[in-house]
Structure 1
Amino acid sequence: MEHPETKERQRENPAQEPNLAPLPVSHVYRGRTVTGSAINHVSRDLGQGFCTPRIELDDLVWPRAQSGPAFDTPIAKIIDFLVELGPRLHLDVNPLMQTALESMIKVSPLGRRILENCYRDIPNLFARGVIEDELRVSLGDARLVDGWVARTLRGRPSRLRAFAPRLVHVLAGNSPMVAAMTVMRAALTKGVHLLKLPSNDLFTATAILRTMADIDPDHPVTQSFSAAYWRGGDENVESILYRPQYFDKIVVWGGDSAVRHVMRYAGPGLELVAFDPKVSISLIGREAFASDEVLRDVARAGAADVLSFNQDACNASRYQFIEGDEDDADRYAEQLALALGQDFRYGDGQGPQVPSDIREAVDVLREMEPLYRVFGGYDGTGLVIRSEEMVDFHPICKTVNVVPVTSLRDGARYATVATQTVGIYPPHRVTEVRDALACAGVQRMVALGESISDGVGGYPHDGMFPIHRFMKWVSEESGPNPEETQ
């Protein structure tokens, strides 16, 4: 199955002139690195040209008639391999990760400082405690991934197994951590995995997979992964790959259009697992106004939640509800605008400029004071709009909507099924709103300022435990096994 040569039309991006020379992007086919420049593309965010090998579709699938390379590998050995991988991914010692970082700077809008922080944090995802907690909490009993575990229900004996799946992972590129989390979780399933690379992160996943091959090219986990780039929506590739004879599930990260596009391939035998696009909010109690110093500290915590990958992540706060009157909300909004101009580990004090459509909408609101008040500016250092109700545009690029409410419970009514994370100050007041937030569809509640976490190690993600969802759960109910009756 050979994919015909294609070339994408370059996107207009006046903010950055793309380099003339296309970046070389490697593929990985079942653990084997493949290079080439047969197909030219243009990256989504920065308009950078890049080239990839011609896609060999036969190399991206594993025959159904054969067990996957790691299907029968003890999970303890897989964990040991991942734990060995972690230190090998340290930026200071890994040339593959160093090269990936330099290339990422040319396709990702995050910039060198944030990207380097991400790459330095990636090894933490492969710590033994993180891995073991992820597996234990997801499955309840790690023995289920190694074999058939006997159980008795209502006096009837049976065996249960979390069987290794065959998965396509459509990755998002708003953070390099997505690729690392995916590799760690996927390896623990013992399954076979095809990673579809996003055009704004073409290098992290392959650098990790190539490091695995450097450790042991013949290891079953190494040979259980492929990674390739093709233009999203290319039916020459997807209409062939996205079939139940090759894969059990499609795991998709990304925006609404990406999820809806993949949904058309889901059907009997091919399940969709979606990390849907989400919006996050903050609920801030009257305790924030105890003193000017407390207010500054709370505003900095609120800014930390906004600046998750420069507000390009699902856990980035976009709406903040303040328990108080308009004057209280204005005091907070003023401090928040100042705090947004500071650097955080995954956010820049000087970020991207506010888009023209938001500028035009805010210019109209400026004319409607005191119903609305605007703090900060359009230069990328932070923009805050105080309003009585939520604004009717989607805040991006370090833009925050501050809304005064009479109580945290009043603020909780703004949560919906599209709300992922809610940051709360002071933390102990979560008990007032957690049931209401959960009923509304919220998936995660944290102390204000702590929306950014590794997202693994036993915590649910988007309302599910991913490894549990990835597995094929198989029940064998033929009666007692002979060894069970002896």
Structure 2
Amino acid sequence: MIIAFGKTFPSNMQNEILFKMESRINRTLSQKPLNMQKVITAIDKLGKEIASGKYDEKINKLLIDNPLKYKDMAVRMLSREAVEAKLETELNGLSKDYGNVKAKIMPLGVIFHIAAGNVEGLPAYCVAEGLLTGNINILKLPQADNNLSVEIISRLIELEPDLSDYIYVFDTPSADIHGMRKMADLADGISVWGGDEAIMAVRRLAAPAAKLIEWGHKLGFVYISGMYHDSDLEGIAEHIAIMKQLLCSSCQVIYCDTEDIGDLHILGQRFLPILEKAVKSNLPNSIGTKANMTILGYTDMLENLISGNKNTGILKGKGCSIKVCGDSDLELSPMMCNVLIKKLPRKKIIPVLRKSKGYLQTAGLICSDSDKQDLCSVFFRCGVTKIVKPRDMSEMFLNEAHDGQYALSRYIKIVNEIF
């Protein structure tokens, strides 16, 4: 399904629509810019419709667990309060007069969004951010999208018809290089969500002058220094059990501030029943998630039997596992409630984590109040961009940055008038 010119079209009309888009985009750019109050009002109305249950049937059919969590997150992020706070936080103060030098915020022009499929609702939110910065938006849907994005974006255009010339949505497969290159050629900026392979593919696709806005995969971890309590471990377990370690902010490794491998075994033995309990309380509803958990579990077990590698112990629980490792490398866990435990003495934090620079994002921190500021400072210098309590690692907070940057600031340019 395609959205273009305020209407929906079948996918087989892609080439015809792409052929017409350049002249239509040029016409749009020659007109008055978007009225931002109309954009905010439309987004707020959409959020209220989602809150009312209008899309519940579709949301409940998503192949995800905790669909209500995604719904609540969408409602919060689309509210007028959140949108206005986002604009104030991310863009306020960038337009200024410096004597005869005037600095003004302007849209990039046209943004080509290549959305990832691991967060439901992300494609539609990408378009909302593009609209809030006054841009024309071309969205390539992830292959896993179930038409919910098309339905939501179509409704947004119905709520505010002025948006029809600012939104184009395609369900183009990633293998259609010709179609994607045509979309990229129309864009002033390309926003891509995905792993290293996706990022590299877009770099090869983009014109040299195009601005690349990359949101790559990241790795999250928990760091425990000093005393910890069962309530701390319950927070880690709850986070792992709910999110299944599928997000960039998810905990893949639990680090312990120690040189003694014995401390890791003590932590693992204490943590396993707590993790089992959390997993039991958050069993997957999606058959796809259940199958994925089973396959990953067997694959991981076989890999360890074959390789006999750096793991010094595997604690197997019902629906989960804990690996006590002999190394300190930050790496992707098997996910699906299978977590790694490693030692990382405080003095080695920087040399170890700097190996993963560019992939660091969220850290969950358990330590004394007296150590908190020093540890936060060290982690930020390594490249970590968000430090929270472990149970909050994948929560979204009003006014927070993403990967160390405000998204809206990447979708604009600052222009100068000097007379």
Q: TM bucket by the smaller chain?
A: 0.7 to 0.9
Partner of 2:44: 83
* Compared CA separation, residues 283 and 177, structure 1 to 2 (3 A): farther
- 1:151 corresponds to 2:151: no
Q: Distance in 1 between matches of 2:145 and 2:159?
A: 23
Report the Cα offset of residue 125 of structure 1: 0.9
Partner of 2:66: 114
Q: Paired residue for 2:180, among 214, 238, 259?
A: 238
Equivalent AA in structure 2 for residue 334 of structure 1: Q
State the Cα RMSD in Å: 3.1
Q: Deviations over 1:250-287 (max 9, x none)?
A: 10001111111001133443111000111111101222
Q: Deviations over 1:203-250 (max 9, x none)?
A: 23212212213424x2x234411211111142220222211xx21011
Q: Paired residue for 2:159, among 215, 218, 223?
A: 215
* Compared CA separation, residues 432 and 55, structure 1 to 2 (3 A): farther
Q: Paired residue for 2:191, among 240, 251, 274?
A: 251
Q: Paired residue for 2:7, among 25, 28, 32?
A: 32
Report the Cα offset of residue 410 of structure 1: 3.7
Partner of 1:134: 86
Q: Paired residue for 1:168, among 112, 115, 120?
A: 112
Q: Deviations over 1:325-379 (max 9, x none)?
A: 43432232234333434259998498512255422233368798xx7121125x7
* Compared CA separation, residues 329 and 283, structure 1 to 2 (3 A): same
Q: Deviations over 1:424-449 (max 9, x none)?
A: 01374331222322222222211221
Q: Distance in 2 between matches of 1:366 and 1:359?
A: 10
- 1:389 corresponds to 2:333: no
- 1:302 corresponds to 2:261: no
How many residues end up aligned between the 2 structures? 406
Q: 2:3–2:169: 8 Å Cα contact kept in structure 1? A: yes
Partner of 1:483: none
Share of identical aligned residues, percent?
Answer: 16
Q: Distance in 1 between matches of 2:9 and 2:274?
A: 46
Alignment partner of 2:341: what SS?
Answer: strand
Alignment partner of 1:432: what SS?
Answer: helix
Alignment partner of 2:314: what SS?
Answer: strand
Report the Cα offset of residue 412 of structure 1: 5.4
* Compared CA separation, residues 447 and 234, structure 1 to 2 (3 A): same
Q: 1:172–1:254: 8 Å Cα contact kept in structure 2? A: yes
Q: Distance in 2 between matches of 1:344 and 1:83?
A: 37
Q: Distance in 2 between matches of 1:206 and 1:345?
A: 33
TM-score (norm 1): 0.75
Q: Deviations over 1:104-131 (max 9, x none)?
A: 33xxxx3xx3234313431111112211
Q: Distance in 2 between matches of 1:129 and 1:363?
A: 53
Q: Deviations over 1:286-324 (max 9, x none)?
A: 220xxxxx22x2222122343463211111111111134
Partner of 2:389: 447
Partner of 1:338: 273
Q: Distance in 1 between matches of 2:87 and 2:378?
A: 30
Q: 1:159–1:476: 8 Å Cα contact kept in structure 2? A: yes
Q: Distance in 2 between matches of 1:343 and 1:71?
A: 53
Q: 1:91–1:119: 8 Å Cα contact kept in structure 2? A: no
- 1:400 corresponds to 2:339: yes
Q: 1:304–1:344: 8 Å Cα contact kept in structure 2? A: no
Residues 290-439 of structure 1 correspond to what in structure 2 (within 5 A)? 294-295=229-230, 297-307=231-241, 309-324=243-258, 325-341=260-276, 342-343=278-279, 348=284, 351=290, 352-353=293-294, 354=296, 356-363=298-305, 372-377=312-317, 381-390=319-328, 394-397=332-335, 398-407=337-346, 409-411=347-349, 413-415=351-353, 416-417=356-357, 418-426=359-367, 428=369, 429-439=371-381
Q: 2:235–2:391: 8 Å Cα contact kept in structure 1? A: yes
Equivalent AA in structure 1 for residue 253 of structure 2: Y
**Structure 1 gap ranges (5+):** 1-25, 39-51, 289-293, 480-486
* Compared CA separation, residues 201 and 187, structure 1 to 2 (3 A): same
Which structure would you say has the larger RCO, counting Cα contacts within 8 Å and 6 or more residues apart? 2
Partner of 2:205: 265
Q: Deviations over 1:184-210 (max 9, x none)?
A: 312201111011111122423212212
Q: 1:374–1:386: 8 Å Cα contact kept in structure 2? A: yes
- Normalized per residue, the structure richer in helix is 2
Q: Distance in 2 between matches of 1:82 and 1:392?
A: 39
Q: Deviations over 1:29-74 (max 9, x none)?
A: 14322246x5xxxxxxxxxxxxx97873236556453234995233
Alignment partner of 2:42: what SS?
Answer: helix
**Structure 2 gap ranges (5+):** none
* Compared CA separation, residues 383 and 395, structure 1 to 2 (3 A): same
Q: Paired residue for 2:144, among 175, 200, 204?
A: 200
